[in-house]
Amino acid sequence: MNTQFSVSPENKPIFIALGFTLVIILIGTGYTLITQGAAPMLMPSYLAQQLQIGAFLGVCAAGMMMVILLGHIDLSIPWTLTAAAMMATTVGGPWAIPAGLAVGLIVGLFNGLGVSVLRIPSMIFTLGVDTALRGLMVAHTGGFAPQTEATPLMRFLAADRVLGIPVALFVWAGVSIAIAGLLSRTGFGKAVYATGAKESAAFLSGIRTKWVIVGAFMISSLCAATAGILLAGYSAKAYQGMGNPYLLPAIAAVVLGGTHILGGRGRYIGTLIGVILIVVLNSVLSIMQMPEAVRQIIYGTVIIGMLLVYGRETTSRN
């Protein structure tokens, strides 16, 4: 009997994340049955609503995975998301969404050049970019809440439903198909894995590693901008700090899905399951009325634990 698929290092975290997801669903269902006499987590309408909210995180995590596969990280996600949403609602009309996406492409290009050409550590450079974006947006709004509104198309993409299914899920599915196809069926995807595994070896083999890094950061920021446009549509407006709750969960979803934090290994299906795990965990914590501080502690603990596991694994292989 061939058990290679089930025991391979790349697939094991995926099964573990899937198992944890099912356990969390059972815990949440048991809790609501005892306290409320009902099981809302098993109702299709409730699950669709939770996945609709989770679509924003899912799009962010898809882009974050591209960067983590290279062994880098993008800490500019929160204000890239916010800046894209603010610019989209400010421009309005048919150019709203292109304006928001353009913000993501520009930020991603800047991040990629800073990391690949200037060789500044991604954690430091993207954190600086995030801070600069925050300052620009505060200057743009004068420190007050923006008075702009989302366009009808933005509201349709984020809040409406087609055949009972939230349109945001279709957007998330489209992004997922694009990222999964890019990683598994294109030369760029193979270059991402090779660069993440060993950048110097990839460069010597003829891969233009600098542009691979630039491309990955542009995809990351573009996904963040897309999430910002969707979130502004869901909220009917943009607001300062709207991207702050998405950074740590996006990283957690990617790591929980089995993508190696040091780069070179990971599958998009794992990130997808990681996002669902985070969404289900959020739902159960909300049902149990856990405060936000406890949620952040849980996210941080999970990431630290996975980092320790990956660190020990890398050390043992070396």
Q: Does domain 16-22+45-310 have CATH number 1.10.3470?
A: yes
Question: Which of 67-76, 145-154, 240-249 tops mean pLDDT?
Answer: 67-76
Roughly how many angstroms between the first and final C-alpha of the chain, as a whole number? 31
Nearest to 183 by CA among 155, 212, 161, 149: 212
pLDDT tens per residue, range 287-312: 887 787 887 787 677 667 666 665 55
The full set of domain ranges for the chain reads 16-22+45-310
Q: Which residues pair with 166 in a beta bridge?
A: 161
Q: How far is CA 229 from CA 76, 132, 180, in A?
A: 16, 20, 22
State residue 291's pLDDT score. Answer: 81
Residue 242 contacts residue 137 (beta carbons within 8 Å): no
Residue 90 contacts residue 231 (beta carbons within 8 Å): no
pLDDT tens per residue, range 97-118: 999 999 999 999 999 999 999 9
pLDDT tens per residue, range 113-131: 999 999 999 999 999 999 9
State residue 261's pLDDT score. Answer: 84
- Share the mean pLDDT of the chain: 88
Query: Cα(47)–Cα(44) distance, rounded to whole angstroms?
Result: 5
Which residue is listed with tokens 């990130």?
271
State residue 315's pLDDT score. Answer: 42
Query: Cα(318)–Cα(73) distance, rounded to whole angstroms?
Result: 23
State residue 307's pLDDT score. Answer: 61
pLDDT range class, residue 6, cuts 50, 70, 90:
very low
State residue 24's pLDDT score. Answer: 82
